[in-house]
Chain A
Amino acid sequence: MSKRSINNKEQKEQIPIVFAKVGETVTVDNIQSGEHLRHRLAEIGITQGTTLTIIRNQARGPIVVKVKGSNIILGTGMSFKIFVHNVDNEEQ
């Protein structure tokens, strides 16, 4: 039980999605942006708690994530605004 709580603490470490590696599955913790972008993302299926997989990550450029069955490009700049934590850790 105690071990798990430590793990929980670790996985809560939030990173901007730009630092996530290709192939990683991550969960969205929060999106630090204006209302407009948050709504657009919500409509494409990305909100707090959404699990997505990183398909492509061009360093500091745009990224491609797989969410709800399709690959979505998130333009340059957005990858600094979306904070995620790694899900793979959780399973271990």
Chain B
Amino acid sequence: MEKEYTIALTGNPNSGKSTIFNKITGIRQHIGNYPGVTVEKKEGYYTYKNHNFRFVDLPGIYSLSPYSVEEIVTRDFLINKKPDVVIDIVDSTNLERNLYLATQLIQLKVPLVLVFNMWDMAEKRGFLIDYKFLSTLLGVPIVPTVGIIKRDIDTLLDTICDVVDGKISITPTEINYGDEIEEEIKKLSAIIEKIPLLTSRCPIKWTAIKLLENDVQILNLLEQDSEIKKLLIEQIIKSREHLKKIFGDDPEIAIADKRYGFISGACMKSVTLSVEYRHDISDKIDEILIHKLFGLPIFFLLMWLLFQITFKLGQYPMELLDLGFVKLGAFVSTIVSNDVIRSLLVDGVIGGVGGVLIFLPNILLLFLGIAILEDSGYMARAAFIMDKIMSKIGLQGKSCIPMLIGFGCNIPAIMATRTLENKRNRIITIMAIPFMSCGARLPVYALLIGTFFSKEIAGNVLFSIYLIGVLMGIVTSILFNKFIFKGESPPFIMELPPYRVPTVKGMLIHIWNRAWMYLKKAGTVILAFSVGIWFLCTFPQTTQYSKDYNSLIKESQKVNDAQKVIYYKNQRSLEKLENTFAGKLGHLMIPLLKPIGLGSWKIGVALFAGFSAKEVIVATLGTLYSIGETGSEKEQLKDALQRDSFFSPLVAYVFMIFTLLYIPCLSAVAVIRAELGGWKWAIIAVVYTVSIAWVVSFLTYGIGRLFLYI
């Protein structure tokens, strides 16, 4: 087996990093998560001139501080995995900002190669960059590229080969922080030198600077209460105090200033501006897209388009898929004679696989839309436009998009939170999304409103349900901000990238990865769950019925009484269902459901079955009321519900509220687990939504009764 070299790709967001990664590895990519965090881990393989390379696309970052998960992940990867070459992709049109990260990589003394990407753009803007001179100043090789040109990529690959073959030696330059800071660095270094655990990890000066910056994560490695640790901490405090006095500000700010100072010094010597570039197209577009008055309507128009594309266009393939699975089920039914196996295959497996695939058209289309919004640069504008409104409930502008998607379907909405950089915001947004009433809940409302409310108020009733959902989303955000994630919410600072035309290849890879992740991570869990629910709704099987249905049905068939046949058949299914685990669970749930006015085992079973998907509630009610669910039978179900003295408009309303608020469906739970990397948040989501559903239903029922019986 030949040696495999690990090449890490780092760089600022919007530096064209992903374009280069995609260009090199194509679809030979592997996507996973870094252990324990929600940051995406992208890897790809490529063999070039007999060298086997493993490329790791690290998240886009501005610095190696410990403030965001992305920064920590990148730092840990560079320090612990010691990649053979580290590529830092730099946007040549914006050297000053992009080189900030480079100064830290230089200091970390990793085998660094700088890629000056978007070289053509820089030239167009009149920048003359003497990259060879800059390369000697920084002590690292620089490769100018245009990310989509193959010849440039080959030059980059040649350079990487030369580095791993030892043909190019990299000697990163030392950055001087000025006498005062250097003095303190020396004092700290003297102590660090004596700790092998730290010296073997990364360069001594790097460690010293990080400690001066109050970036003390590394101290956790040291033994608690050891003499040397105490000594080190003492020195850190002393040095920081000393520097604070000199600079009148925290040392980390002085250090950041020095880094920028070093960069502007280096740039001054190597970059000249030939013509002043004045016409920035992006600024012109922004004058309209983030205009004070037009910005918001344009945003909502684009969201409306995204919604239409995702759900209206997605409807056709979904219907086809649905029909396909129904046909497949019918076909399997005819060839399998054993009742249990047939039911397992048709209701459990085919139903489960269908339940997984049915969402795929939505997911593909939504992510096509999101990829366009993101790659073009509009997403950052949307974040800006919505920031003021969303900040009122403790979230940031970007959270708005997944929440709106939630009204179509919660699954892609939860997946769309990937565009949120900050984990705290992501979790809160995911917790609020289930309260956005998705399309699958509509059949339940349609049935109950149609049965118990007059046409005149139907619209208002429906609107009030949606409104309660939105209110609970807001309450959730406030609750989680106040009690779960205490302290100030993280500051929202973000670059407004220049507009760009998205590449087809980039989008296809994006969509393909998303679909694959969904099938692999969520699909398996969804399938397992639906087989589980099928089991609970099927076993134990009834052998003894209260009546001899078989002969009753036969008798009715003889006299051609079709209605009676259906009646007995349904009566039999009802009895069968009542005896299963699900039926028993329904009975067990009565004490819990009684206080909220839903104390009927039938509702218990319907709610339990609705866990697999909310529209299943309607089908289950059909079975429970001994009526099919299709065509004119829907009218029969309405009649049956109306005849049931248990139901009243108030009970129906509470039933709708509970349906709205309790955990959307098992697919959503599976996706939450996949997105937040573990069962913990998935379980919290289930417990939280069910509790909220109960509390709100309880209040509604109580207040409703008060009004009815006064």
> Does chain B have a CB within 8 A of A15?
no
> Does chain A have a CB within 8 A of B146?
no
- The residue that B495 contacts in the complex, of A39, A70, A75, A78, with Cβ under 8 A, is A70
Bound complex: CA A61 to CA B496 (Å) = 16
* CB pair A42 B253 closer than 8 Å: yes
> Does chain B have a CB within 8 A of A40?
yes
> Does chain A have a CB within 8 A of B207?
no
> Does chain A have a CB within 8 A of B257?
yes
Given A36-B67, A39-B67, A75-B492, 12 other A-B residues pairs in contact with their CB atoms under 8 A: A39-B256, A42-B253, A42-B257, A43-B62, A43-B63, A43-B100, A61-B391, A62-B388, A68-B96, A70-B496, A73-B493, A74-B492
Contact residues, B295-325 vs A (CB, 8 A): none
B interface bracket (residues with beta carbon within 8 Å of A): 35 or more
A78 contacts across to B, CB distance below 8 A: 491-493
Q: What's the least CB distance linking B662 to chain A, in Å?
A: 33
Tell which of B379-387, B621-629, B680-688 binds the partner.
Answer: B379-387
* CB pair A76 B253 closer than 8 Å: no
* CB pair A64 B496 closer than 8 Å: yes
Top 8 A-B pairs ranked by shortest CB distance? A75-B492, A61-B388, A42-B256, A71-B496, A76-B391, A62-B387, A42-B253, A43-B63
> Does chain A have a CB within 8 A of B154?
no
Would you list 5 pairs from A and B whose C-beta atoms are within 8 A, ordered by A residue? A40-B67, A55-B283, A62-B388, A64-B384, A68-B94
B250 contacts across to A, CB distance below 8 A: 35, 38-39
Contact residues, B479-504 vs A (CB, 8 A): 488, 491-496
Q: What's the least CB distance linking A37 to chain B, in Å?
A: 5
* CB pair B97 A76 closer than 8 Å: no
Q: What's the least CB distance linking A64 to chain B, in Å?
A: 6
B282 contacts across to A, CB distance below 8 A: 71
* CB pair A72 B496 closer than 8 Å: yes
* CB pair B388 A70 closer than 8 Å: no
* CB pair B384 A72 closer than 8 Å: no
Residue of B nearest to A34 (CB): B488
Known: A39-B65, A40-B67, A55-B283. A72 touches B493 (CB 8 A): yes
Total interface residues in chain A, CB < 8 Å: 32
Bound complex: CA A59 to CA B94 (Å) = 29
* CB pair A47 B65 closer than 8 Å: no
> Does chain B have a CB within 8 A of A11?
no
> Does chain A have a CB within 8 A of B555?
no
Bound complex: CA A16 to CA B279 (Å) = 30
A48 contacts across to B, CB distance below 8 A: 249
Known: A62-B387, A73-B387, A75-B387. A47 touches B493 (CB 8 A): no
A60 contacts across to B, CB distance below 8 A: 388
A56 contacts across to B, CB distance below 8 A: 286, 290, 384
Bound complex: CA A34 to CA B492 (Å) = 14
* CB pair A73 B62 closer than 8 Å: no
B257 contacts across to A, CB distance below 8 A: 42, 47
A39 contacts across to B, CB distance below 8 A: 65, 67, 213, 250, 252-253, 256
Bound complex: CA A38 to CA B213 (Å) = 12
Q: Which of B286, B388, B396 has the most CB of A within 10 A?
A: B388
Bound complex: CA A55 to CA B291 (Å) = 11
Residue of B nearest to A35 (CB): B250
Known: A38-B253, A39-B253, A61-B388. A76 touches B492 (CB 8 A): yes
B493 contacts across to A, CB distance below 8 A: 40-41, 44, 72-75, 78
Q: What's the least CB distance linking A4 to chain B, in Å?
A: 25
Q: What is B's interface to A at a CB cutoff of 8 Å?
A: 62-63, 65, 67, 93-97, 100, 213-214, 249-250, 252-253, 256-257, 260, 282-283, 286, 290, 292, 380, 383-384, 387-388, 391, 396-397, 488, 491-496
B387 contacts across to A, CB distance below 8 A: 61-62, 73, 75-76
Bound complex: CA A68 to CA B260 (Å) = 10
* CB pair B391 A45 closer than 8 Å: no
B380 contacts across to A, CB distance below 8 A: 73
> Does chain B have a CB within 8 A of A58?
yes
* CB pair A72 B494 closer than 8 Å: yes
B256 contacts across to A, CB distance below 8 A: 39, 42-43, 47
A 51-90 to B, binary, CB cutoff 8 A, 1 in contact else 0: 0000110101110100011111111111000000000000
B95 contacts across to A, CB distance below 8 A: 69
Bound complex: CA A3 to CA B41 (Å) = 61
Q: What's the least CB distance linking A44 to chain B, in Å?
A: 6
Bound complex: CA A77 to CA B395 (Å) = 12
A72 contacts across to B, CB distance below 8 A: 493-496
Residue of B nearest to A78 (CB): B491
* CB pair A75 B391 closer than 8 Å: yes
* CB pair A69 B96 closer than 8 Å: yes
Bound complex: CA A68 to CA B65 (Å) = 20
- The residue that B97 contacts in the complex, of A35, A38, A70, with Cβ under 8 A, is A70
A73 contacts across to B, CB distance below 8 A: 380, 383-384, 387, 492-496
- The residue that A58 contacts in the complex, of B97, B292, B396, with Cβ under 8 A, is B292
Q: What's the least CB distance linking A43 to chain B, in Å?
A: 5
Bound complex: CA A73 to CA B93 (Å) = 19
Bound complex: CA A47 to CA B493 (Å) = 14
Q: What's the least CB distance linking A56 to chain B, in Å?
A: 6
Q: What's the least CB distance linking B332 to chain A, in Å?
A: 55
Q: What's the least CB distance linking B101 to chain A, in Å?
A: 9
A42 contacts across to B, CB distance below 8 A: 252-253, 256-257
A47 contacts across to B, CB distance below 8 A: 249, 253, 256-257
Q: What's the least CB distance linking A74 to chain B, in Å?
A: 6
Q: What's the least CB distance linking B376 to chain A, in Å?
A: 15
B292 contacts across to A, CB distance below 8 A: 58
